[in-house]
């Protein structure tokens, strides 16, 4: 069983940020000999992470997973390196995995749904390597198979989204927004949870809530994302939950230019990005990656399994800093968490639900923007 510390805490990952950024630079320098010509001996890297589309220091999914690799490697003196695919494609991801294998990787961490097919291929191509696949199972052409050398880790995004939707309404917000990157299962579950959390709180508070809802079609920061955020804010939206990677920077920029507008982050604690970050919807990426690597070296790697980390395993939550809330308290959070853990509150985890039609909403009006 994967062991966890308290999710709602001042995460070790936060204390590691400055150190991690330095390591990213060193890792980038270390990459050079692998691509350079010449006959000098090439370095090997025992632990590897292949980033999803975007940089490793994205302050989101890639970085959360990378911090788990860095923490274990530093504590145990193990060589490590990240690889960024040359382009946003399955073939480029697979090529990056092959480069990691050629450089001596024993464990390769692959964060994101887009690695489903590349890992399906690679787990057979490199049976001696252990793969840690986040947010997906290995699959190709409709066939899903988790190899004995692969561990798939999922997180209960529906619970993580529920918590911040509930917190936003209990805080007093009545006009909410949601930016999803692409409608992949994890992002959809974030969004569904956010809606249902807002609905649950609205019923408790006996109020009506509105929500603007949009998949941006990208996890990158783009000018049009800021334009949309500004339009929503100027139209009355008070807080936007952004499960869209680098696009959070667009929402932050829009909120900072106005008064009383807020952003909720996703995946990792993003509160130090800006004073307008109200809180973050956490997935324990660093902790789960660290534990998977630890299990490998202990001889207990859970190959062939898919595990789902929920509030009960402390796999999702929010940061310990409640200072930006005025009404929502730690006591509210703890009580909500217990209701999720006990099963008093259950949230659908399907990513195929029709939004908002299948959600049984009474007090929340959702406008899906295409």
Counting residues of the chain whose pLDDT is more than 70, the rounded percentage is: 89
Indicate the residue among 267, 296, 313 that finishes a domain.
313
pLDDT tens column, 325-362? 999 999 999 999 999 999 999 999 999 999 999 999 99
Give the E-state strand segments of 125-164 in sequence order.
130-134, 139-140, 143-144, 150-155
Whether residues 145 and 197 share a domain: the answer is no
Distance CA 109, CA 289 (A): 8
Q: Is residue 85 located within the same domain as residue 38?
A: yes
Q: Is the same domain home to 132 and 30? A: yes
**Residue 83's domain is classified under what CATH number?**
3.40.50.2300
The answer to pTM > 0.85 is: yes
Q: Tell me: do 36 and 75 sit in the same domain.
A: yes
Is 5 part of a structural domain of the chain? no
Q: How many domains does the chain have?
A: 2
| pLDDT at residue number 88 | 93
**Quick one: 175 and 54 in the same domain?**
no
| Overall average pLDDT of the 119-138 stretch | 99
Give 316 or 11, the one with higher predicted confidence.
316
Where residue 122 falls (left for φ over 0; alpha for ψ -120 to 50; beta otherwise) is alpha
Domain interval for residue 206: 157-282+317-368
Return the pLDDT at 40. Answer: 64
Residue 261 reports pLDDT greater than 90: yes
Of 116, 100, 4, the closest CA to residue 48 belongs to 100
pLDDT reported for residue 7: 39
Question: Tell me: the pLDDT tens digits for 185-208?
Answer: 999 999 999 999 999 999 999 999
Q: How far apart are the C-alpha atoms of 308 and 68, rounded to whole Å?
A: 18
Contact partners, residue 171, CB within 8 Å, separation at least 6 = 278, 325, 326, 327, 328
Q: Are residues 162 and 264 in the same domain?
A: yes
Q: Are residues 189 and 301 in the same domain?
A: no
């Amino acid at each position: 069983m994967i062991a966890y510390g308290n999710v709602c805490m001042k995460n070790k990952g936060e204390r590691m940020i400055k150190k991690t950024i330095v390591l990213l630079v060193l890792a980038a320098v270390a990459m050079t000999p692998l691509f350079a010509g010449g006959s000098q001996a090439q370095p090997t890297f025992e632990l590897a992470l292949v980033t999803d589309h975007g940089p490793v220091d994205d302050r989101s999914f890639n970085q959360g997973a990378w911090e788990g690799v860095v923490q274990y490697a530093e504590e145990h003196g193990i060589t490590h390196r990240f690889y960024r695919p040359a382009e946003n494609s399955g073939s480029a991801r697979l090529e990056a995995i092959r480069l990691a294998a050629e450089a001596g990787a024993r464990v390769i961490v692959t964060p994101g749904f887009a690695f489903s097919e590349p890992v399906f291929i690679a787990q057979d191509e490199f049976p001696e390597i252990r793969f840690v696949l986040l947010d997906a199972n290995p699959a190709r052409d409709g066939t899903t198979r988790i190899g004995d050398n692969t561990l798939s880790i999922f997180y209960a995004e529906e619970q993580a989204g529920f918590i911040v939707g509930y917190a936003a309404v209990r805080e007093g917000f009545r006009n909410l927004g949601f930016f999803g990157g692409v409608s992949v299962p994890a992002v959809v579950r974030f969004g569904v949870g956010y809606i249902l959390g807002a609905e649950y709180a609205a019923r408790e508070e006996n109020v009506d809530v509105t929500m603007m809802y949009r998949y941006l079609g990208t996890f990158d920061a783009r000018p049009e994302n800021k334009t949309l955020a500004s339009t929503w804010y100027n139209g009355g939206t008070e807080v936007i939950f952004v499960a869209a990677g680098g696009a959070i920077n667009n929402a932050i920029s829009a909120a900072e230019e106005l008064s009383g507008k807020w952003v909720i982050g996703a995946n990792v604690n993003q509160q130090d990005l800006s004073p307008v970050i109200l809180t973050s919807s956490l997935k324990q990426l660093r902790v789960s990656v660290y534990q998977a690597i630890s299990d490998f070296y202990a001889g207990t790697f859970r190959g062939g399994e898919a595990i789902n980390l929920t509030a009960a395993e402390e796999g999702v939550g929010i940061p310990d800093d409640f200072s930006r809330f005025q009404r929502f308290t730690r006591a509210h959070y703890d009580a909500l968490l217990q209701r999720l853990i006990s099963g008093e509150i259950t949230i659908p985890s399907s990513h195929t639900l029709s939004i908002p039609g299948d959600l049984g909403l009474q007090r929340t009006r959702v406008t899906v923007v295409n």
